[in-house]
Chains A and B, each alone.
Chain A
Amino acid sequence: MKILYVTVGLIAIYLYVSFASLLWEGLDRKLVARMQRRMGPPILQPFYDFLKLVSKESIIPRDANKFFEIAPILALAASIALLAYTPLGFEPILATKGDVIVFIYLLTLIAFVRVIGAVSSGSPYAQIGAQREIIMLASREVPMMLGLFTILWRLSKLGVEKPFSVGTFYQYNIWEIGTPLTIVGTFVLLMVFLLWLASEIEVGYFNIPEAETEVAEGPMAEYSGRHLALFKLSSALKEFASASLVVAIFFPWGVSGYLGLSGVGAVILDLVFHTLKAFAVLFVSMSIFRAITGRLRITQAVSMFWSRILPMSLIGVVLLVIDVLGVIA
């Protein structure tokens, strides 16, 4: 019975999130265009892009090896598996004891597959993009995981059964603790997570690996046609999943409880409400961030992570720890 539930649920969620994430890409392009006083493409442009890319010829360079062609399939597969562990207004389909760890593992795996594909393409531009991607990956995960595990630890003090599971965020809300130190600390960690989200989806400051004007889209330099289409879809899914994590940690409220709904209706309503919240988070972390910041150099980005964002995360952590230990009453 559970097998059937997992299969049908995962495919349904995959279809829904593909639609929602591509729709968000279109909204994002339109919004940023309006911020820059341009007309912008139609909102459905990402769907047209995807279909157009699928129908175009795929060119495989002479120097590319087998991984070049396998990487897009693996990246999309990892993204789809990621959706099984993504909180979408309710617990993930495969909610287990340690699904937060699987979630982070899969996010990293997608980046790794992109890097493997880029390195296999034989293009030096892709190599440079891949190096940058790995450097960013190593820098951005540290403050994020520090903050994430601290929040889970803080919530585990309230007596949850499975402290490393996404479901914890729906049992207890970090804002409900309500002490001043927790609120300030959580707010600091929210800033860290918004910056992490911007770097995870590589926009604004952190559009370094795919710097279009500089290294010709970096890891994606040699990809074209359907291979590029699969990568684009995979990044769109990853964007939505990453934003979903931020929403689940900081804004887990549902609406179905207030309206007294239950069953399928509640699930659908919560899913739609969650999608709107994810769009709101992405609007701050992606659209506005992309519109008001320019690309940093890779050294600047790394030093920003280690000398600004990591201390920021540490401050949030220390505030939460002080609150738990009761040093200041």
Chain B
Amino acid sequence: MFGYWDALYFLYAFLIGLIISYLLMKWAEKVSMGTRRTGDGTKIYISGEDQDKVIPHFEHLSGYFTGRHVMWGLIRGVHRMFLVFRREHTGLLTDYVAYLLITIAIVLGALVIGG
């Protein structure tokens, strides 16, 4: 899609952006009241809540809520797929052709998404 020079110009534009924002940051560092590297946080933990465990109003989010459920969902989906295959399996040639097509579809899907 892009020519060689277009890619280089993109890098150049990004570099200009980096330089401008770095200079802005340095200038701000000079004129500001400095930096304080301490404390548990600025706005939230003033009241002394335990940041590692409980977030107020988000108690249900303790642990790896999303990750765990997505993982179990995937495992359950794959498991159900195999259950369906086993139930419908008749040993005929058409079954094996169908498996082959499904496998090709999945591999192609992965290639399309990945490539």
Contacts and interface: CB of A to CB of B under 8 A. Distances in A.
Do the two chains belong together in a single complex? yes
Interface string B33-76: 11111111111100000010001011001000010000000000
- Chain B CB count within 10 A is highest, among A78, A93, A101, A226, for A226
A97 B1 contact: yes
A98 B1 contact: yes
Contact of B39 (A62, A74, A230): A62
B9 A6 contact: yes
B17 A94 contact: no
Contacts of A146: none
Interface in A70-91: 72-74, 76-81, 84-85
A181 B61 CA distance: 48
Interface stretch (B22-30, B83-91, B104-112): B22-30
Contacts of A3: 12
B28 A81 contact: no
Contact of B40 (A6, A63, A76, A230): A63
Nearest to B21: A76
Nearest to B2: A98
B16 interface: yes
A180 B37 CA distance: 62
Given A54-B31, A81-B14, A124-B58, A11 B40 contact: no
A61 B31 contact: no
**A interface, size bucket:** 35 or more
B41 A123 contact: yes
A272 interface: no
A77 B21 contact: yes
A320 B106 CA distance: 31
Nearest to A234: B21
Contact of B43 (A7, A14, A222): A222
B32 interface: yes
A102 interface: yes
Contact of B58 (A14, A94, A128, A222): A128
A146 B2 CA distance: 21
Interface in A115-167: 121-125, 128, 131, 164
Given A3-B12, A96-B3, A102-B10, A124 B21 contact: no
A54 B22 contact: no
A216 interface: yes
A66 to B, nearest CB: 12
A81 B10 contact: yes
Contact of A131 (B6, B12, B22, B66): B66
B41 A57 contact: no
A72 B31 CA distance: 18
A194 interface: no
- Chain B CB count within 10 A is highest, among A11, A14, A74, A76, for A76
B20 interface: yes
- Give 8 nearest A-B pairs by CB, closest first: A80-B17, A77-B17, A226-B28, A76-B21, A57-B33, A84-B13, A77-B18, A96-B6
Given A63-B41, A81-B13, A225-B35, 13 more contacts: A3-B12, A56-B32, A63-B51, A76-B20, A76-B24, A81-B14, A94-B10, A97-B1, A97-B6, A98-B2, A125-B55, A222-B44, A225-B33
17 contacts: A6-B13, A55-B31, A77-B17, A80-B13, A80-B16, A81-B16, A84-B13, A96-B3, A124-B55, A125-B55, A128-B61, A164-B1, A222-B43, A226-B28, A230-B21, A230-B24, A230-B25
